[in-house]
Structure 1
């Protein structure tokens, strides 16, 4: 995925948790006492964090920024991205992001500025359709202000930029031209008679560039990035291709990476896309497999496949209306068990996301299918000593009564 938060099917997670957030905010008073604001600010000040000098950005504060703090009394992790975007054309920068409640499994909630981002102006964000965020200061290492629900309920928020057990990064883009199209295809590519590739790389910033455990994540130096992009472009056959990379979870010592590839061939065939999800243990410095996250019992994988199959049969949590296919149906055929997807399993603040490419399951309309499995229903299958179980314990979401 690119660093764009709405890209690669991350946004549909938000719609399924709006009701939960409304219920949470409905229990709060209509006013915000000064003592509550002071308490929230003290709580943020007590959070462990790297020195502010390590995270100060350019005056415009562009790029990716990660915050920890509270909304009311609830701890949250919030991520924002400031960059150029077609959202506002040539009028200015966009500011978008997401956040989640650390002690809850409601999922990510999407944030965006309603107008081009203007450095130096107090930050204002929409949390559609739940409420608004109004900071008392411009975007910077510290943010505080008021969250207001659509019904008018108000909660103080206090945040501080923090990369503890996470990474700070940027996405670098390189483009290269491939071979010229053969004569029979040029009529389909009159506007671009050659192949072209746009490739994204994850570039770690600040102290993370020196951490040994993160060496496998860091992209190659500029010359090697350009050479790799040119070599990949030469393999294209009259097509426009894009390879993206980004993250869906960046906290508690875990980094969930999602890589995508989109290819539009000029020979008239339909464009196609593929995604691959991986999970990196920031503390151990290695990629994790699904098998080592599950209990060692022989039937753990089988039980996970059965859980996925039940979701498909019941159309549970596949968010099909958000995917534009409310008429989705699954045809189990001779088997009621669906194997796990080839492209891997993605991790979010809420649980697992399984991406099934066309052909992996039988369904009506063409296109990929996403299946969401929440952490509460996965607890019986997770290995207690796994990094994911560790993350759930640190968030207070692991139940001690789980099977050992």
Structure 2
């Protein structure tokens, strides 16, 4: 299966026709428990209780592992549950973490408000500059946590370079690959140790399911994560796993359209007099453009931009769009607009991660790009 193309693996990896009925789509095993042939005797050795394992979830995990080029995949109830499981598994009280200065607000909240009470410390660094990351590393550093492209400023980090810094320090590089997806970027092949996803976003792709995933090639780490997930119980239900499986089947074709649309919209925003700055790694002006071009297939469907007239004008734009829906989240087939400073990144206010108050973030959907550009132009007028 590993020699097959991405699109083929997205449809077939972990998804053989059902052996009992021949159903070509993996069934939704909507069950909490499984009959045993005797005490402790499960019928196929894997399934006894659905918190521990479920066949629909197993299919999703095999599909995700294939697409990320990983030996192991574990699905979680949300992206934050996946992130929490990784951090609680690889960190202990007294350990240190390096976090990017442009990270998702929920990740910052987890580290700053939860893990620090457990005795974990962290420093913030500019992940686009290897020297900045190296300077932030301490003897106690166990994790460098990386988003590339980052949320919401679309910063680009050089994954192989950061992997080198992490491994020199005896630490792991964890890459949140939610924005890029495995269609555009495979961090494990570039040297990362762990990949996390909010499968809620592009992988599910239809704004109808919440989930997360962790991918790794480390056998022992997989066992530790599996134990923690089973003990803590942050598992997706069978229907959630099935919806994500279904969404991933069309990931490749959707990502191509997301990228096509985002490239057109980024150029249109760049030329607009009310836009003072556009953040999109596909633009040659973007400081991370060359690195992104080396490690990504294309540049993704996320754009952020700053309004030349300040926060009030940015808020007004977010209220005036009609096709771009004012909502949190991203990666669905529909286009979304949000104000990070007051919405997804409100938790970083007053910190080193605070975002500009005139910033708007777009999740570009797969609609007709001409309609989307007209919608933005009208809102900006």
TM-score (normalizing by structure 2): 0.25
Larger RCO: 1 or 2 (CA < 8 Å, sep 6+): 2
Q: Name whichever structure is richer in helix by fraction.
A: 2
